[in-house]
A and B are shown apart, each in its own frame.
Chain A
């Protein structure tokens, strides 16, 4: 496995700066993982190995931290993400129908990413915006009181085809 991260990658520079800012302290692991996930979109294995080496932390501890918190992801969530809220309020307002339609149109099940890594479909229990139900979050942008067609059109705008 090639563990070396390319030093010219701006994301690596950002990560190195963050680690330096935290003074190479092992207790700053979660903050550093946050920063890495923000720039990569997920946590690739070689990034975890890089962090382990820099902080002198055992790989097993880093892996256990990453898998404990749902926020961290080891797999790419896709370039664009579409998160359907299936909390109680959204469910009552028809979130399941939106999700079903979306899954049918994209051919992706919740939690999956398209083969070209362009789109990822996810579900969340409740994002705390029940007054806006049904809610879909497209690339961190909350879409309020959506209909299926609206969402599909917005996705097509973002990724071009399909």
Chain B
């Protein structure tokens, strides 16, 4: 099989052409922080955590949406990248209300883990805390917009894996919110199949099931990856 030569953090690697930098890193045991990436779903480059430096390009590029090219020289561990990751993480916490102690996902949250990983001990930015709704209209599930970081993993899981297209994003910029149908309450959605895939895809405590109590939420985003893998069996 054809391979191409690339260099990541001074390590010479042979990788398949056409894969993303993120995939090349993960395949070779190089850790890259991500939030909006979920294996099996399409990549959108929304969270800006997987930024990498590429020699010859003077801006940082997201590893999940940039494909490898031969003789690419990539760095994932420079001080600049670490600084940016810290900033991005703080901005996640500064926008909406992420108070872990009263969150269902406490102890089982990718955002919380991210905070530990980048060593966030305080937040240098003013908190915005926009007024957000908690949608409890669904029979089994809850959408708490206060915990949402707009990674859109639920949107992609719903459309790409379940095919229901219940979720999408309204407005733009600071006003963006995840919506169900015509911004109707989730419980009145005519497209939702109540499959719960969005819950598994969600990295934070924004989507959860009504039968869990605070701090007891368990998430299995790898379920989505498994589903996508198993779907391929149908085609062979």
Give the complex CA separation of A125 and B185 in angstroms: 34
| Contacting residues, chain B, for A59 (C-beta < 8 A) | 181-182, 184, 190-191
| Contacting residues, chain A, for B191 (C-beta < 8 A) | 58-60
Interface of B is mostly: loop
| Contacting residues, chain B, for A62 (C-beta < 8 A) | 182
Interface of A is mostly: helix
Residue A138 at the chain B interface, CB threshold 8 Å? no
- Taking residues whose C-beta sits less than 8 angstroms from the other chain, chain A's interface range is 10 to 19
B171 near A68: Cβ-Cβ < 8 Å: yes
Interface digits, A48-71 against B, CB 8 Å rule (1 contact, 0 not)?
Answer: 110000000011111110011000
Residue B179 at the chain A interface, CB threshold 8 Å? yes
Question: Would you list which residues of chain A between 15 and 50 have a CB under 8 Å from chain B?
Answer: 45, 48-49
B172 near A60: Cβ-Cβ < 8 Å: no
Question: Would you list which residues of chain B between 152 and 167 have a CB under 8 Å from chain A?
Answer: 159, 164-167
Residue B170 at the chain A interface, CB threshold 8 Å? yes
Between A and B, how many residue pairs show CB distances below 8 Å? 43
B182 near A58: Cβ-Cβ < 8 Å: no
| Contacting residues, chain B, for A58 (C-beta < 8 A) | 159, 164-166, 168, 181, 191
Smallest CB gap from A59: residue in B: B181
| Contacting residues, chain B, for A64 (C-beta < 8 A) | 168-170, 179
Give the complex CA separation of A126 and B44 in angstroms: 32
Q: Closest approach, in angstroms, between the C-beta of A107 and any C-beta of chain B?
A: 27
A48 near B171: Cβ-Cβ < 8 Å: no
Q: Closest approach, in angstroms, between the C-beta of B157 and any C-beta of chain A?
A: 13
**Cross-interface CB contact of B179 among A45, A48, A49, A63, cutoff 8 Å:** A63
| Contacting residues, chain B, for A68 (C-beta < 8 A) | 170-172
| Contacting residues, chain A, for B190 (C-beta < 8 A) | 59
- Interface set of A (CB-CB < 8 Å, partner B): 45, 48-49, 58-64, 67-68
